[in-house]
C-alpha cells in the first residue's frame, strides 16, 4: 500500500527530509538528502483543484463546471494554492493584472447574458456586486 509522504515531523512539527529511495522493480536503494517538489507538499484538496485547473487549461469557468463550485470559490482556491507554493505579494503584480483582466471579462459576460435575456437586471446587478467583492 502506498501512503502520502509526510512533510512535517509528527513529534516536533519541523520539516522532514527525504533520505532514502528504493526501486519498485529491483533491490536498488539510494541514500542521501533529496528534496520534494513544491506540488508534493500541497494537501490532497489543493492537488485535486490543481489537477482540475490544469485539465481545464486554466479556464476558471471550466473549473467551476468541473468541480461544481462558484467563481469566487475557484478564485479563492487558486489564491490559496499560489500562497502555499510560496508566491507572496512581491510576486503577484502580474497575477493581479491578470485578475483585473479576468474581472473585466467576467463583467462583460454578465452584461452579455443580460443582453441576451438569460438573466434579469437584478441578477446581473447581484453578480456584478459579487464579482467586485472578489
Domains of the chain: 40-133 (1.10.10)
Burial of 80: CB neighbours in 10 Å, binned 0-12, 13-18, 19+: middle
Q: What is the pLDDT of residue 38?
A: 83
How large is the average pLDDT for residues 100-125?
85
65 band by pLDDT with thresholds 50, 70 and 90: very high
How large is the average pLDDT for residues 35-56?
90
- Cβ atoms < 10 Å from Cβ of 101: 10
Q: Higher confidence at residue 102 or residue 19?
A: 19
Residue 61 has pLDDT above 80, yes or no: yes
67 band by pLDDT with thresholds 50, 70 and 90: very high
Q: Which 3 state secondary structure label does DSSP give 68?
A: coil
Alpha helices in the chain (DSSP H): 44-55, 60-67, 71-84, 93-115, 121-133
- State the cell numbers at 120: 434579469
How large is the average pLDDT for residues 47-59?
95
Residues making up the chain, counted from first to last: 134
pTM over 0.75: no
Looking at the DSSP bridge assignments, the partners of residue 65 are none
- State the cell numbers at 48: 485535486
Q: Higher confidence at residue 1 or residue 83?
A: 83
Could you tell me if 20 and 62 are in contact, meaning their C-beta atoms sit under 8 angstroms apart? no
Residue 6 has pLDDT above 90, yes or no: no
Could you tell me if 31 and 19 are in contact, meaning their C-beta atoms sit under 8 angstroms apart? yes
Give the burial string for 102-115 (b: 16+ CB within 10 Å, else e): eeeebeeebeeebe
Could you tell me if 7 and 41 are in contact, meaning their C-beta atoms sit under 8 angstroms apart? yes
51 band by pLDDT with thresholds 50, 70 and 90: very high
Amino acid at each position: 500500500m502506498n501512503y502520502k509522504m509526510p512533510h512535517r515531523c509528527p513529534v516536533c512539527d519541523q520539516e522532514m527530509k527525504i533520505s532514502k529511495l528504493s526501486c519498485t522493480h529491483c533491490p536498488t536503494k539510494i541514500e542521501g538528502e533529496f528534496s520534494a517538489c513544491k506540488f508534493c507538499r500541497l494537501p490532497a484538496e489543493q492537488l485535486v483543484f490543481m489537477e482540475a485547473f490544469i485539465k481545464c487549461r486554466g479556464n476558471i469557468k471550466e473549473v467551476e463546471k468541473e468541480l461544481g463550485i462558484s467563481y469566487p470559490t475557484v478564485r479563492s482556491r487558486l489564491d490559496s494554492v499560489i500562497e502555499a507554493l510560496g508566491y507572496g505579494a512581491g510576486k503577484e503584480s502580474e497575477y493581479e493584472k491578470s485578475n483585473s483582466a479576468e474581472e473585466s471579462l467576467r463583467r462583460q459576460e454578465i452584461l452579455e447574458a443580460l443582453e441576451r435575456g438569460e438573466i434579469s437586471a437584478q441578477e446581473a446587478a447581484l453578480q456584478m456586486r459579487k464579482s467586485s467583492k472578489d
